[in-house]
Amino acid sequence: MKIIPNLWFDNQAEEAADFYVSLFENSRIKNKAYYDAESSKVSGMTAGTLMTVEFELAGQMFININGGPVFSFTPATSFLVSCKTSNEVEKLYSKLSENGNVLMPLDSYEFSEKYAWVNDRFGVSWQLLLGTREQKITPCLLFVQKQYGKAKQAIDFYVSIFDDSKIKEVVTYRQDENEKEGAVKFAEFIINGQQFTAMDSGRDHKFTFTPAVSFMVECENQNQIDHLWNNLSAVPQAEQCGWLQDKYGVSWQIVPAILAQMILDKDSERSARVRKSFYQMKKIDIDELLKAYEQK
């Protein structure tokens, strides 16, 4: 299984992907998919326009979605970038903060000689850190508002349901740090072999998790889909086309690994049948997708 961050845009998915690819080495655009008649009808987007763009940033896969003005990015989900040199931090800070919003200015902090937190011009949130980490770009979950103090509980939960998972480090707040004692100051954990980080914040933040960032899990079989869906889905009204929200408000897409291959098939009739079947589902049924794909 792979876990791929998906970013929801109004009509800037391609522009944003091109911008991000220009910033990082070992990065490239991989695949693009366009709205057909069926997906246009379901989404309200114009047939023939770009639906998704899949790209790679420093070895990390991402997918940008043009889905309309439905969801907005927030710093509750950010991407922590490990930079090898001060020059790299400064360059990324300059590019990502341009026409964006600086949450924590580039400076020296107790946890890093050089660090900054910015929202870029598209609203996507980035933390830039001087230091060498095994994974260049790492998703970071910030637990705020009614989720405050639940970061450790969430980490334990995710590690318990994904294979190849473990907790690497948990640093908690002390009583004298103006946060709830025992809340997570910083934690690093691995789910499905991929690194994530998490933090709690009790400040009066006006944001929380939204589906603007979701994590697509590409499953190899129906058993994996069933297992993750049954454990993660906690908001029935959010279930659609493999999308769900868990009990902490984090959004996931639980899909078969073969889905992209079928949707991007050069046979437009095959692709259209798969999309039509897919759009009628909540939890994805691989056998039904294969029936649509193989229909004569």
Residue 115 lies in a domain: yes
CATH code of the domain in which 25 resides: 3.10.180.10
- pLDDT single digits (tens) 218-269: 999 999 999 999 999 999 999 999 999 999 999 999 999 999 889 888 888 8
Residue 214 has pLDDT above 90, yes or no: yes
Mean pLDDT across 88-115: 96
Convert the pLDDT of each residue in 18-64 to its tens digit.
Answer: 999 999 999 999 999 999 888 888 888 999 999 999 999 999 999 99
Domain boundary among 172, 200, 228: 200
Q: How many domains does the chain have?
A: 2
pLDDT at residue number 1: 72
- Read off the amino acid at residue 17: A
Whether 95 and 139 share a structural domain: yes
**206 lies in some domain:** no
Same domain, 164 and 220: no
Structural domain boundaries enclosing 159: 77-200
Residue 45 DSSP label:
P
Q: Report the Cα–Cα distance between both ends of the chain, in Å, rounded.
A: 30
Bridge partners, residue 3, by sequence: 217
With respect to residue 209, please indicate whether it lies within any of the assigned structural domains. no
Residue 223 is predicted with a pLDDT of 97
Q: Does residue 9 belong to any structural domain of this protein?
A: yes
Locate the DSSP E strands across the chain: 2-9, 28-34, 50-57, 60-66, 77-83, 101-109, 112-119, 125-130, 137-143, 166-172, 184-191, 194-200, 213-219, 243-245, 251-256
Question: At residue 76, does pLDDT exceed 80?
Answer: yes
* pLDDT at residue 296, rounded to an integer: 59
Percent of the chain with pLDDT strictly greater than 70: 100
Residue 214, judged by CB atoms within 10 A of its CB (0-12, 13-18, 19+), counts as: buried
